[in-house]
């Protein structure tokens, strides 16, 4: 089976795009991706769009028909929804379609326009629909509360500390300060993070990713056609997905994410790598506890040591393992349905040595980790340059 190659990428800056629409943001990202790949839009045979809640955020469903033809790509279009992992799932669907021989090339778009809902309570409720509506959202447990439960359980079980979680936020803001497309480009101190207001105890403001708008697009094709579009394609060498119970109370241990473990095993086995081969990773840090748990579940450190691993500086840029060189969701931003594609674009630029001041020096193998909800869904992809 041929590997799938990424030959072009494009994205908007992440932020609060009050002056633009969901359709307008995707137009920007798609046009940049087409220009990047130097591809005729007529050669794009299908479009796959990852978006979580356009019906709630924008009162617009059927966005596959809204986005594709408007951007000039007149190919069959399909929307893929998997909460915050929608973008990564859309990429997997595109990969499977190409591998199955249905298409030679495809456009994959991730988009979310969250600020069309002015009231933050409405935004929180919209995001909460990715949890169990009956057992969690319906009784007032929004995602800050759910991840607070996970954080408190981790602190109780392993003795992790608020300082350790704050170190995750500080590191990601350090990296984000170097990313011109990041929503927040300011460094923060440990004191600022630890003294920020409580959102859902023990989670504080700087443990949380923001409300964001953004669109990102990649163009993928089969390996044999990649050099037609670029001299420096990036290959997806492994992919995996996992699914777990949507509600926390149905999981035997809320300090781990079984979906991550399953996705990692599949992706790493396919790519024939171990954690020792990974040079950098984009991790889904919707809350700092999510990054800590992920580092443990993937195997970069022992269970219960993820916070200490971060506090000791082992996840900083060009340290033992560069984690979230983009700034992660925490600093770069989190336009939920688009996040997975933004992660892929960061890896694309890192592997091509195009990341500027945040460039990872050891950059042979990059990984993306993208979860949906409180970890009920996970997609992991492995990337490398051609030989």
Co-location of 200 and 220 in the same domain? no
Question: Does residue 125 fall inside a structural domain?
Answer: no
Last residue of a domain, one of 178, 199, 234: 234
User: What per-residue confidence (pLDDT) applies to 11?
Assistant: 98
Give pLDDT tens digits for 102-140. 999 999 999 999 999 989 999 999 999 999 999 999 999
Position 95 scores a pLDDT of: 98
Per-residue pLDDT tens over the stretch 212-233: 999 999 999 999 999 999 999 9
| Mean pLDDT, the chain, whole residue set | 97
Full residue range of the structural domain in which residue 332 is found = 132-209+237-385
Asked if 106 and 172 sit in the same domain, the reply is no
**Number of domains the chain is built from:** 2
pLDDT, one tens digit per residue, over 138-172 is 999 999 999 999 999 999 999 999 999 999 999 99
Query: Does the residue 38 lie in any domain?
Result: yes
> Does 22 share its domain with 158?
no
Residue 59, domain member (yes or no): yes
Active-site option among 84, 208, 286, 301: 84
Active site residue 334: yes
3-state secondary structure the chain: CCCEEEEEEEECCCECCCCCCHHHHHHHHHHHHHHHHCCCHHHCCCEEEECCCHHHHCCCCCHHHHHCHHHCCCCCEEEECECECHHHHHHHHHHHHHHCCCCCEEEEEEEEEHHHCCCHHHHHHHHHCCCCCCCCHHHCCCHHHHHHHHHHHHHHHHCCCHHHHHHHHHHHHHHHCCCCCCCCCCCCCHHHHHHCCEEECCEEHHHECCCCEEEEEEEEEEHHHHHHCCCCCEEEEEEEEEECCCCHHHCCCCCCCHHHHHHHHHHHHHHCCCHHHCCEEECCCCEHHHHHHHHHHHCCCCCCCHHHHHHCCCCCCCCCCEECCCCHHHHHCCCHHHHHHHHHHHHHHHHCCCCHHHCCCCCCEEEEEEEECCCCEEEEEEEEECC
pLDDT by residue (tens digit) across 48-81? 999 999 999 999 999 999 998 878 899 999 999 9
Residues 269 and 217 reside in one and the same domain: no
- For residue 281, the domain's CATH number is 3.40.47.10
Is there a single domain that holds both residue 86 and residue 141?
Answer: no
Res 367: pLDDT:
98
pLDDT tens string 244-297: 999 999 999 999 999 999 999 999 999 999 999 999 999 999 999 999 999 999
Query: 220 and 205, same structural domain?
Result: no
- Tell me, yes or no, whether 166 lies in a domain: yes
Domain membership of residue 20 (yes or no) is yes
Residues 41 and 155 in one domain: no
**Among 380, 371, 379, which Cα is nearest to 147's?**
371
In a domain, 267, yes or no: yes
Q: For residues 351-357, give the mean pLDDT.
A: 98
Do 256 and 361 share a domain, yes or no? yes
Residues 64 and 189 in one domain: no
Q: Are residues 216 and 254 in the same domain?
A: no
pLDDT higher than 70, residue 387:
no
**Do residues 158 and 68 share a domain?**
no
Q: What local confidence, expressed as pLDDT, does residue 72 receive?
A: 85
Model pLDDT, residue 71: 80
Catalytic residue among 154, 173, 284, 334: 334
pLDDT of residue 68: 81
79 and 152 in a common domain: no
Per-residue confidence (pLDDT) for residue 69, from 0 to 100: 82
Q: Give the pair of three-digit tokens for residue 320.
A: 């033992």
In this structure, is residue 123 part of a structural domain? no
Instruction: Decide if 124 is inside a domain.
Output: no
């Amino acid at each position: 089976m041929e590997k799938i190659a990424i030959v072009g990428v494009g994205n908007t800056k992440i932020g609060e795009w009050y002056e633009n629409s969901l359709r307008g943001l995707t137009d920007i990202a798609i046009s940049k991706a087409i220009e990047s790949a130097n591809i005729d839009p007529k050669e794009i045979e299908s479009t796959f769009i990852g978006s979580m809640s356009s019906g709630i955020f924008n009162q617009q469903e059927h966005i596959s028909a809204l986005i594709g033809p408007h951007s000039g790509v007149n190919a069959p279009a399909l929307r893929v929804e998997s909460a915050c992992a929608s973008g990564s799932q859309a990429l997997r669907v595109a990969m499977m379609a190409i591998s199955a021989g249905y298409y030679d090339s495809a456009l994959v778009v991730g988009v979310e326009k969250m600020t069309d809902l002015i009231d933050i309570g409405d935004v929180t409720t919209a995001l909460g629909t990715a949890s169990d509506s009956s057992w969690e959202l319906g009784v007032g447990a929004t995602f800050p509360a759910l991840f607070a439960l996970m954080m408190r359980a981790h602190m109780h079980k392993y003795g992790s500390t608020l300082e350790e979680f704050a170190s995750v936020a500080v590191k990601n803001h350090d990296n984000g300060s170097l990313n011109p497309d990041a929503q927040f480009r300011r460094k923060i101190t440990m004191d600022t993070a630890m003294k920020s207001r409580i959102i859902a105890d023990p989670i504080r403001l700087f443990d949380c990713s923001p409300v964001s708008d953004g669109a990102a697009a990649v163009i993928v094709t089969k390996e044999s056609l990649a050099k037609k579009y670029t001299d420096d394609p990036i290959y997806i060498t492994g992919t995996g997905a996992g699914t777990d119970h949507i509600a926390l109370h149905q999981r035997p241990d809320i300090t781990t994410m079984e979906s991550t473990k399953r996705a990692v095993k599949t992706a790493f086995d396919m790519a024939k790598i171990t954690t020792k081969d990974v040079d950098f990773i984009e991790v889904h840090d919707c809350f700092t506890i999510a990054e800590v748990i992920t580092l443990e579940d993937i195997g970069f450190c022992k269970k219960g040591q993820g916070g200490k691993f971060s506090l000791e500086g082992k996840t900083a840029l060009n340290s033992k393992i560069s984690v979230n060189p983009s700034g992660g969701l925490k600093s770069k931003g989190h336009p939920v349905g688009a996040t997975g594609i933004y992660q892929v674009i960061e890896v694309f630029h890192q592997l091509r040595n195009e990341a500027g001041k945040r460039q990872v020096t050891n950059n042979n193998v990059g990984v993306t980790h993208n979860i949906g909800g409180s970890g009920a869904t996970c997609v992991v992809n492995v990337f490398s340059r051609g030989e």
